[in-house]
Amino acid sequence: CPFDLQAAIQGADNDVAVIIPSKPQALTVTYADLKRETASFQKKLANIGITKGSPVSIATVNSYEFIVSFLAASWQRGIAAPLNPAYKQEEFEFYIEDVKSAIVLVPKGAYAAGAPAVKAAQKFNAAIAESYWDSAKNEVALDVKELGQLKGKPAQPLLKPDADDIALVLHTSGTTSRPKVVPLTHRNLTRTMKNIRNTYQLTSSDRTMLVMPLFHVHGLLCGLLAPLLTGGSMIVPTKFSATDFWSDFIQYKANWYTAVPTIHQILLKHPVPQPLPKIRFIRSCSSPLSPTVFHNLEKTFQAPVLEAYAMTEAAHQMTSNPLPSVGKRKPGTVGLGQGVEVVILDDKDNILPDGQEGEISIKGENVTKGYLNNAEANASSFTKSGYFRTGDQGKKDEDGYIVITGRIKELINKGGEKISPIELDNVLTRHPQVSEAVSFAIPDEMYGQEVAVAIVLKSGQKGDEQEFRKWVGDKLAKFKVPKKIYFTDVMPKTATGKIQRRIVAEEMLKKES
């Protein structure tokens, strides 16, 4: 079993690994090309002093150079630390200081332009290099602009990764608190790669349309690494574009994709290709997928939709709904653990029986050993018997499928009565006038917290508060009926399309005052 990111790239030399759909001509990379290019980039990194444990920050968009530099850093026993290239200087400073970057890789031209990543790297004396596809030389360039802390460091020998080396450091999304730093080893990553391969029965004939950013686990593990383990291939545009999605999908013959619900919803609002390409499955992950969107997707794209559940600390996937040939898909659930043990714990770390709600907790080779520099979070997240507490509230249904009711920090606590914001969102998005609904707690003198909801209406609709209250009251217990209803044109979201209920609440309260 391959347990490192060098051994785990398993495609046949002549098979296509990566397609970059740039105009006028796409770049097509075989496995032989990818391995040769990665080995050569590893050498370039070693020559300037990158070695075991060196943090290599990568601030480029999804691209061939991202893939090569990511793999090369990990092959050299370095620690890849991808960063959202759209960050502002202050954000880059936060992350570069936090991971102690030895070098920051930026796109061509960023140095002369004094890009935010460059300024931030200079502040912490990290080396700065531009990395890009040099079509004249037919290679991924490493154009070193400043050596920073690497100055005077001798060239390092070429290394081979070990299963327990840290290969990747990522921050959590910071949805509930300051982003936490998660180190993931080659073993953690390869375990997830195998779990994803097994869940979706990925083979060398599968080709994915990779539209999730590679600076988060979703795109990195499911879009890039799992397919590389299976000898499959991927189409990699620089970012998601609703207008190019289907033309690329069809032209380069993809047969599946994975994305957050926001992207699925955007695709549903765009013209549907005729004839439809044959889609083996659509995967949804990272935020709750409402059953309404699930059904619309299956109907519109004539493909099974498999909702999965993942987090940074688990090197992405924890559970997923199965392929149709394996089992049933249950909308509103995130399916079953695959290669990951999933239990529901009460607050004294006891395992609860099916049907009872508690904290979703996991155990598996994919799970991080612990956050960096965060003893407090480590103490509260890992139990004595080795489970990792996810911070998500949920239960197992009668088939053992996991139902997520919300983040523990985001449950609405109305006088001791816990209300799942996700359940309420789902009921409201079933209303024919509602496009999006996000529920959250607001302070209340009587109950401590009360139920509020922000609603984005479908275009041309006039919302009626009383009608929405009646709609909820007909379907859910009376105490769940929202006291406050806010109408908004856009729902605030994070870069990865996540809802931060805390931010939605703040913005709605701000609007009101």
- Burial tier of 23 (Cβ tally within 10 Å: 0-12, 13-18, 19+): exposed
CA angle 465/470/475 to nearest 5° reads: 130
Q: Which of 106, 285, 412, 419 touches ligand ATP (CB under 6 A)?
A: 285
Residues numbered 332 to 351 that lie near ligand ATP (CB under 6 A) are: 334
In the 8-state DSSP scheme, what is residue 4?
A: S
* Whole-number Å distance between alpha carbons of 483 and 412: 12
Of residues 179 and 331, the one with the C-beta less far from ligand ATP? 179
What residues pair up with 437 in beta bridges, in sequence order?
455
Of Mg ion, ligand ATP, none, which one sits near residue 392, judging by CB under 5 to 8 A according to partner kind? ligand ATP
Rounded least distance, CB 318 to Mg ion, Å? 12
Rounded least distance, CB 391 to Mg ion, Å? 5
* Whole-number Å distance between alpha carbons of 154 and 152: 6
Does 287 interact with ligand ATP (rule: CB under 6 A)?
A: yes
Residue 223's φ and ψ, nearest 5 degrees, are: -80, -40
Of ligand ATP, Mg ion, none, which one sits near residue 285, judging by CB under 5 to 8 A according to partner kind? ligand ATP
Rounded least distance, CB 174 to Mg ion, Å? 9
Which listed range, 62-70, 247-255, 387-395, 441-449, lies at the site for ligand ATP (CB under 6 A)?
A: 387-395
* Whole-number Å distance between alpha carbons of 212 and 231: 20
Which listed range, 144-152, 167-175, 264-272, 409-417, lies at the site for Mg ion (CB under 5 A)?
A: 167-175
- Work out the end-to-end distance of the chain between its first and last CA atoms, rounded to an integer number of angstroms: 59
**Residue 243: which H helix or E strand, with range?**
helix 242-251
**Contact in structure between 450 and 444 (CB atoms under 8 Å):** yes
Does 54 interact with Mg ion (rule: CB under 5 A)?
A: no
Rounded least distance, CB 121 to ligand ATP, Å? 24
Which listed range, 65-73, 233-241, 250-258, 286-294, lies at the site for ligand ATP (CB under 6 A)?
A: 286-294
Q: Is the dihedral of CA 193, 194, 198, 204 positive or negative?
A: positive
**Residue 41: which H helix or E strand, with range?**
helix 31-47
* Binding track over 255-274 against ligand ATP, x by CB under 6 A: --------------------
Rounded least distance, CB 217 to ligand ATP, Å? 7
Does 58 interact with ligand ATP (rule: CB under 6 A)?
A: no
What residues pair up with 284 in beta bridges, in sequence order?
259, 307
Q: Determine the residue type at 147.
A: L
Rounded least distance, CB 173 to ligand ATP, Å? 3
Does 286 interact with Mg ion (rule: CB under 5 A)?
A: no
* Whole-number Å distance between alpha carbons of 60 and 273: 31
- 502, HSE (Cβ side, Cα atoms, 13 Å): 10
Q: Determine the residue type at 5.
A: L
Residue 376 neighbours by CB distance under 10 Å: 8
- How many residues form the binding site for ligand ATP (CB under 6 A)? 24
* Binding track over 72-91 against ligand ATP, x by CB under 6 A: --------------------
CA angle 265/268/272 to nearest 5° reads: 155
Q: Which of 150, 202, 221, 311 touches ligand ATP (CB under 6 A)?
A: 311
Does 184 interact with ligand ATP (rule: CB under 6 A)?
A: no
Does 176 interact with ligand ATP (rule: CB under 6 A)?
A: yes
Rounded least distance, CB 391 to ligand ATP, Å? 6
Residues near ligand ATP (CB under 6 A) are: 172-177, 179-180, 285-288, 307, 309-312, 334, 390-392, 404, 407, 498
The residues of the shown chain that bind Mg ion, judged by CB under 5 A, are: 172
